[in-house]
Structure 1
């Protein structure tokens, strides 16, 4: 056993050395060959992986997002390491798992030292102008607005959808974000390089009792005549198959399912409103791309688009995220722009990519060394095979706990998924290659004994490495 542990440690040290060597080479090469690119990072809220036309959805209308995906890189297996907004956003900024950055609730903020190692602060130090627009999503009373050259984020955990502007008119949050994007670009385009981070409220529900989905007036009839297919796991038998600690009305996922998804009619309307909000975001993306061209900065601007976590729309009798199901943890991810290497443009990739990869990818694109404490990978380097591909990753969700949100951790690989509800010792094993909708929990299936034994061991290794 000691020999095995020693081998693992040596392998980890060699990997760290390889990563450090690569990031230094990549940064030097990019600095010497081109001007630093402008970087725009667009983040949607509760955006599941399949709610894009380019991801195979035949109903939703996202022509502008589809277009930038088709020009750039579409990551078809993108995930988050924790499916809840404040944790995921901290991971996006820091390139770290929850276990390392420690922002596990809505009232914890980055320390000044930790903030200085986030991608915006490192870009600022390198001479970038910074903008932030929309929902910050971390401790709202201590927003780092002074770090940014342009700041448009209210001190509130969840922004309202209908805002009143200075002239007294009501404006939808998505339209307000678009206005601020335009102002930022007009102010900073064509000067020194900039990084604009944009966080939409959409398509997050408006919290309330019951929750609602306020959509822009011009989209209210969109999808009116469409029929949304019912999810396979919306069948009640999947909910009733859960253990008693999970199968309770106190479970937030079930509590929110009732007013929004508990009947076929509700499921149709909620899903259509969810799609309408995403189409509203897509419109903003189209106008953004057009403005980049008008300002003549499109050729040196990278656009990265991602969701902060996924969202269940009735699958397994649930609404929301939190748990380890594909609908909850898998998200859209696009990187697009003329600055990308030609051989990576117009490509689709099925390697596992994570939210913790965004910060190191942004820094590498800007030619800035990636700090050793970042746990993510430069995705461009990974696609260029200068960094090893990821075989699996650690998932963790520790906020609140049972009965409202049972805590869950596990391992996700390309073909299998192991989840453990840590308060109860309950295990799930899904063969996601052959059962992509996760209809059968194989944890007690003797034919999968070897697989679950290996994943239990892998879980312990990844859990330690995440700290």
Structure 2
């Protein structure tokens, strides 16, 4: 009552006695309706899942029937990218809807500031009355905001920046991280499924490797025979000539992408086993998604719940002689993404979309105002052609630096990709239309002088734009 003025009290009293007539406007009705009809939202994030590691994206080997069903009934984005291909930065971009230049998370130890956290999609949904759940790997900073959430299952285990795949469960027995997450999803839905609208963020470790020397893909034992009789074809750029044509500062054993390649893909036998293990981990995630969908149906939540799925960054599976991500090649920066909304028809979307679009899209779905500091767009408005298509985006990767991960930035357009390894002033230019596998660097080709000059200028402009404070 403290927010109701005396004038309003008098007005309401007069209305009740019939001395004043009033009606709710159409806009008021629409607003009340929107609040009453706010959907539940589940956001699923996998770790290191590249764009083509999904059946719905054309992969004929991997088994992902549950995710495929959602993608093929929902909106499947064929050209989804991350603005920085490393988990800590990408996850901060997902939460804030911002490029690294604005949110300033550039490593694994820095936390979001309290002001930045207040403008993330979970905080804004909490303010709007949503129940919040988080399950899995938070991945931003050393002090995740567990008090913000009504339900919290953190698998990062203290100071580690990566969860362990195998831990000891509540029953004292070993359990795989994917199974831990699956059980937690069921627990959350049991507790919060039929209360206020909820937003559940689920963050898998899979299919990220377990760090080590060498790193390993640690699978659930029940998937060990999956893909056993399949021969995984080598990608085009796994041919050694593409590694050999890279610049000297990349073509060293100090390059993390190369050192991991040796331990995981360095022989034909290792390649077959570890790509299959990568696929097995994704199939494990798919089964959890299937169980989640069944649970939603059991609770009569299917028509009330929107499911959004994406990978936090891509992954080299031998391309350019590497295993990992970080660099600006397609396999590293391009990810799977779909939105399943039971109230929208299926659509395959060709527009260029980004990880920074997740936060504004979720807020718009919940009828919550999008802060002006968010740099992404509402994907539903984009596919409905209510806003212009994106023509390009800035790529940034500044973590570590040479020799381990040389720093790189650039501009990706629908036709061309311009990248610069800034410590070495080494430029790359690829014609994605005619060379989708990025086999030929055109940066020094005289025929492309005008193109590269234009892209340099555009990149400089765009980089300055995205760095401006809101």
- TM-score, length basis structure 1: 0.92
Deviates more, 1:131-140 or 1:36-45: 131-140
- TM-superposed CA distance for 1:208, in Å, is 0.5
Computing the radius of gyration from Cα coordinates, the structure with the larger value is 2
Aligned to 1:380: 380
Contact 1:128 1:192 in 2 (8 A): yes
Deviations 1:254-303 (A, max 9, x none): 11110111122211111000000000000001110111010001101000
Measured in 2, the distance between the counterparts of 1:323 and 1:253 equals: 9
Q: 1:169 to 1:27 in 2, by over 3 A?
A: farther
- Specify which of 210, 213, 218 is matched with residue 214 of structure 1: 218
Task: Tell me the CA shift for residue 415 of structure 1.
Answer: 1.5
Q: Which of 264, 267, 288 pairs up with 2:268? A: 264
C-alpha distance after superposition, 1:210-231 (max 9, x if no partner): 1011111110010000011101
Contact 1:45 1:85 in 2 (8 A): yes
Matched, 1:406 2:406: yes
| RMSD of equivalent CA atoms | 1.4
Are 1:162 and 2:157 matched, yes or no?
no
Partner SS for 1:350:
strand
| Closer, same or farther: CA 27–187 of 1 in aligned 2, 3 Å | farther
Q: Does 1:110 align with 2:112?
A: yes
* CA distance in 2 between partners of 1:91 and 1:85 (Å): 10
**Deviating more after overlay: 26-35 vs 302-311:** 26-35
Q: Which residue of 2 aligns with 1:294?
A: 298
Deviation at 1:316, TM superposition (A): 0.1
Runs of at least 5 residues in structure 2 that lack an aligned partner in the other structure: 1-26
- Checking the alignment, whether the CA contact within 8 Å between 1:27 and 1:367 is kept in structure 2 is no
Residue in 1 that maps onto 2:100: 98
Q: How does 1:262-341 map to 2 (within 5 A)?
A: 262-340=266-344
Matched residue of 2:351: which SS? coil
Q: 1:459 Cα deviation (Å)?
A: 0.6
Q: Give the secondary structure class of the aligned counterpart of 2:362.
A: helix
Q: Hey, which bits of structure 1, 4+ residues long, moved more than 4 A?
A: 26-31
Determine the C-alpha separation between the residues in 2 that align with 1:85 and 1:96.
14
Question: 2:136 and 2:84 mapped to 1: Cα distance?
Answer: 21
- Cα shift at 1:28: 9.9
Matched with 2:152 is 151
Matches within 5 A, 1:192-231: 192-231=196-235
- Tell me the number of residue pairs that the alignment of Structure 1 and Structure 2 aligns: 437
The answer to whether the Cα contact below 8 Å between 1:302 and 1:337 also exists between their aligned partners in 2 is: yes
CA positional deviation for 1:27? 12
1:30, distance to aligned residue in structure 2 (A): 7.2
Residue 278 of structure 1 aligns to a residue in which SS? helix
2:189 corresponds to: 185
For 2:349, the equivalent position in structure 1 comes to 349
User: Does the CA-based 8 Å contact 1:27-1:369 persist in structure 2?
Assistant: no
Cα distance in 2, alignment partners of residues 265 and 449 from structure 1: 43
Distance in structure 2 (CA, Å) of the matches to 1:39 and 1:334: 13
Task: State which drifts further: 431-440 or 393-402.
Answer: 431-440
Matched with 2:89 is 87
Partner Cα distance (2:249, 2:335) in 1: 27
Gaps of 5+ in 1: 1-25
- Cα distance in 2 for residues equivalent to 1:106 and 1:70: 35
Alignment match, 1:246: 250
Separation in 2 of the partners of 1:292 and 1:224? 33
Q: Deviations over 1:226-265 (max 9, x none)?
A: 0111010011111111111111110111111101111222
Q: Note closer, same or farther for the CA distance 1:181–1:454 as it changes in structure 2 (3 Å cut).
A: same
